[in-house]
Structure 1
Amino acid sequence: MVRKWAFRAVLGYLLLGLFLYVYLFILADSSLPDSFKGSSADPATFMNAREIMLSEEFSKIKNLLFFLSTPYEWLFYFLILILGVSRGFEKWARGTAKNQFIQTAVYLFWLSLASFIAIFPLQFISYKISRTYNISTQNFSMWMKDELTDFWVNYLIMFIIVSVLYGLMKKFKNRWWLAAWALSVPFTIFMMFIQPVVIDPLYNDFYPLKDKALEQKILTLADKAEIPADHVFEVDMSEKTNSLNAYVNGVGSNSRIVLWDTTLEQLTDKEILFVMAHEMAHYVEKHIYIGIAIYLVLSFFGLFLASKLMRGIVANYKDDIKVSSVSSLSSLPLFLLLTSMLMFAVSPFSNWISRYQETRADRYAIEMTEDKQAAITSFQKLSKVGLSQVNPPILVKIFRYGHPTMMERLIMLEQYEQEEKE
């Protein structure tokens, strides 16, 4: 039975990969509609033929890796369950110490290490592709350092979550999901609070913006948007990537306005001000808090469904998946598998909400800066530097895009100009 399940799971994954390849490289249409040819959304107006070709190639490969990575994670969790690897990790942990927290730490270390090793090939392929297409500028040692930092940061966060979660499972046999949901709210807010000042500096060095004239212009925008900020931070990302980015993150007094040095190098001051106005819009329109509210609703139902599914699966298939009870540590891959699948299933909805908020932010930025041309050229440069498709296939947009497509953003700007003229 185990061999049959493992064979079917691997075969299913390979067939899915074949379907995705055929869809992305043969069937999907990413060409620009004829009605938009010659407009600001037409790649031919801001890219040369080679850049257009590279953007199509790079986007197709990255999209394929995206769609392969999540099911690959599901396959990994499924196989270590049915092959008894997770049960072996739990026995190892119980044989190491009697203390429950130490047992959790040991079990989670081996599970995290196995996951890291299993997923590493896909991560490395993604890194090499980004290097080949000149998106990433990291050498291997620097990239590996970030990967190892990721491992330990995620391990520490997961240790806290798993220790609390499985403690609740033991204490509240049927209602653990509700207690876990209630505790997830302050934990999420706490993580958002410490992200800018504790976690982000582990990966990059942040320092005040050197261009004080530009900083003053940005702070003037921030003051107009009523964002409590005394400094604009610059981060040295050029040693890692050629991509462009800027953001406002954190909550309360820990809010930070951040610009990548690549953005400073490749965008004009007017374009930077538009990008920053867009990021400030998320703060002004309370998108962070709306996101938290949506997360609360989705996580409530997600944890409820996960608890019901775990109980049913363990009750009916505990011998097959080598899990004695829901509250045993060996059930963690099952929990991660189910929550990952539920998150993927709801991603079209969450991405739709995100795209709506991003459109609102675009409009806010135009109104604040009153510079539509800077908006258009900034989007064109973002697309060009990132080698992103202007009009990605529909499945890519639905499952991957938390932002409107570049075609949608640029056409919106042109239509906004027409509305203003009328």
Structure 2
Amino acid sequence: MLRKWAFRAVIAYLLFGILMYVYLFFIANSTIPADLKGTSVDPSTFLNGRELMLSEEYSKIRNLLFFLSTPYEWLFYFLVLIFGVSRGFERWAKNTSRFHIIQSAVFLFLLYLSAYLATFPLEFISYKFSKMYHISRQTFTGWMKDEVIDFWVNLATMFIIVTVLYALMRKFKKKWWIPAWLLSIPFTIFMMFIQPVVIDPLYNDFYPLKNKELEAKILVLADKANIPAKHVYEVNMSEKTNSLNAYVTGIGSNARIVLWDTTLNQLNDKEILFIMAHEMGHYVEKHIYFGIAGYLLLSLVGLWLTSILMNKIVSNKGEQLKISGVSELSSLPLFLLIISILLFAVSPLTNWVSRYEETRADRYGIEMTHNQKAAIQAFQDLTKSGLSQVNPPLLVKIFRYDHPTMLERMEMIEHYRFKKNP
């Protein structure tokens, strides 16, 4: 029976991978509409022939790896359960100590290390392709350094979550999801508060913008938007990538507007000012806080559904999955499997909301700067630096894009009608 389940799961994964490969490489259409040929959204007007070819190749590979990685994670958790690996880790953890907190630490380390080793090949393939297409500039040593930091940061975060979660499961049995959700509220806010000042600096160096003339221009925009900003931060990313980026992170007094130094090096001041105005739009429209509220709402529904599904699965298939009870540590792969599936299922909705907010920020940015040419040039440069598709396939947009496509963004800017001053 176990071999049959495992065989079917592996075959289903391979068939899914083949179908996605056929869809992305032979069926999906990423060409732009005929009536937009020769316009500013047409990649042939700002990319040369080689860049167009590389953009299509790299985008297809990257999209395929995206669609392969999540089901691969599901397959891993499923196989860990049915082959009794999770139960074996639980026995090992219980033999180590009688204290639940130490048992959680041992079990989680064994499971997380196994998951990391299992998914490492896909991560490495992604890194190698990014190097091959000159997106990444990172050495293997530098990449592995970030991987190790990522491993321990995620492990420490998961240790806190799992220890508290399973303590609640043991105490509240079927209603554990309610206190778990309530505790997730301050924890989420705390993590967002410390992210810019504690976690992000582990990976990169952050410092106030060196170009004081440009900073002064950005702060003028911030003043117009009534944003109490004193600094704009830049981060050293040129040793790692050729891609461009800027973002808003953190909340409250730790909120930061950050520019990658690659953006500073490759874009002119007018393009950067549009990007900064875009990021200020997120701040002005309180997208970070709406994001937190949305995340907490989805967490409530997700934890409730997870509790129902875990109870049913353990009751009906617990013996086959080697799980003796929901509150046992051996059920953690099942918990992670259900959460991962639910997150993937809801991703079209969360991506749609994010794309809406990004469109709002684009509108805010163009209203602030009144420079359509610079905005379109910025999007063209972002496309070129990341070898992105201007018009990605529908499934890719639905499941992967939390920003509007470059075609949509540039078309909106091209035809934007400015508000009339009263």
Asked if 2 retains the 8 angstrom alpha-carbon contact of 1:222 and 1:228, the reply is yes
Output the amino acid matched with 1:8: R
1:37-48 map, 5 Å: 37-48=37-48
Q: Distance in 2 between matches of 1:293 and 1:208?
A: 30
Matched, 1:113 2:118: no
- C-alpha displacement at 1:294, in angstroms? 1.3
Task: Encode CA deviations 1:81-125: one digit per residue, 9 max, x unaligned.
Answer: 000000000100000111110110000000010001000000000
Q: Distance in 2 between matches of 1:328 and 1:253?
A: 40
Q: Distance in 1 between matches of 2:302 and 2:70?
A: 18
Match of 1:393 in 2: 393
- C-alpha displacement at 1:34, in angstroms? 0.2
Match of 1:280 in 2: 280
Asked if 1 retains the 8 angstrom alpha-carbon contact of 2:367 and 2:418, the reply is no
- C-alpha displacement at 1:418, in angstroms? 9.2
Asked if 2 retains the 8 angstrom alpha-carbon contact of 1:390 and 1:406, the reply is yes
More deviation, 287-296/380-389: 287-296
Q: Distance in 2 between matches of 1:89 and 1:384?
A: 47
Match of 2:60 in 1: 60
Matched, 1:378 2:378: yes
Distance 1:185 1:130, change over 3 A: same
- C-alpha displacement at 1:314, in angstroms? 0.3
Task: Encode CA deviations 1:368-422: one digit per residue, 9 max, x unaligned.
Answer: 11111110000000001100000000000000000000000011111115999xx
1:150-189 map, 5 Å: 150-189=150-189
Q: Distance in 2 between matches of 1:67 and 1:403?
A: 18
- C-alpha displacement at 1:228, in angstroms? 2.6
More deviation, 128-137/183-192: 183-192
Q: Distance in 2 between matches of 1:392 and 1:10?
A: 29
Matched, 1:231 2:199: no
TM-score by length of 1: 0.98
SS in structure 1 at match of 2:248: strand
- C-alpha displacement at 1:204, in angstroms? 0.3
Percent identical residues: 70
Task: Encode CA deviations 1:267-300: one digit per residue, 9 max, x unaligned.
Answer: 0001001001101111110111111121122111
Asked if 2 retains the 8 angstrom alpha-carbon contact of 1:10 and 1:75, the reply is yes
- C-alpha displacement at 1:226, in angstroms? 2.3
| 5+ long unaligned stretches in structure 2 | none
1:4-403 map, 5 Å: 4-403=4-403
TM-score by length of 2: 0.98
SS in structure 2 at match of 1:331: helix
Q: Distance in 1 between matches of 2:252 and 2:139?
A: 36
Asked if 1 retains the 8 angstrom alpha-carbon contact of 2:376 and 2:410, the reply is yes
Task: Encode CA deviations 1:122-179: one digit per residue, 9 max, x unaligned.
Answer: 0000000000000000000000000010000000000000011001101111110111
Asked if 1 retains the 8 angstrom alpha-carbon contact of 2:282 and 2:361, the reply is yes
- C-alpha displacement at 1:224, in angstroms? 2.0
Q: Distance in 2 between matches of 1:216 and 1:248?
A: 18
Asked if 2 retains the 8 angstrom alpha-carbon contact of 1:228 and 1:253, the reply is no
Q: Distance in 2 between matches of 1:322 and 1:228?
A: 56
SS in structure 2 at match of 1:416: coil
Q: Distance in 1 between matches of 2:360 and 2:247?
A: 16
Q: Distance in 1 between matches of 2:237 and 2:363?
A: 28
Q: Distance in 1 between matches of 2:173 and 2:94?
A: 21
Q: Distance in 1 between matches of 2:154 and 2:368?
A: 38
SS in structure 2 at match of 1:207: strand
Q: Distance in 1 between matches of 2:364 and 2:17?
A: 40
Number of matched pairs: 420
Asked if 1 retains the 8 angstrom alpha-carbon contact of 2:249 and 2:257, the reply is yes
SS in structure 2 at match of 1:321: coil
Q: Distance in 2 between matches of 1:107 and 1:251?
A: 33
Q: Distance in 2 between matches of 1:138 and 1:38?
A: 36
Task: Encode CA deviations 1:175-234: one digit per residue, 9 max, x unaligned.
Answer: 101111111111111110000000000000111111000111111212222223211111
Task: Encode CA deviations 1:12-47: one digit per residue, 9 max, x unaligned.
Answer: 000000000000000000011101111110001100
Output the amino acid matched with 2:4: K
- C-alpha displacement at 1:235, in angstroms? 0.9
SS in structure 1 at match of 2:230: coil
Output the amino acid matched with 1:86: S
Task: Encode CA deviations 1:243-277: one digit per residue, 9 max, x unaligned.
Answer: 00111211111011211110000000010010011
More deviation, 138-147/208-217: 208-217
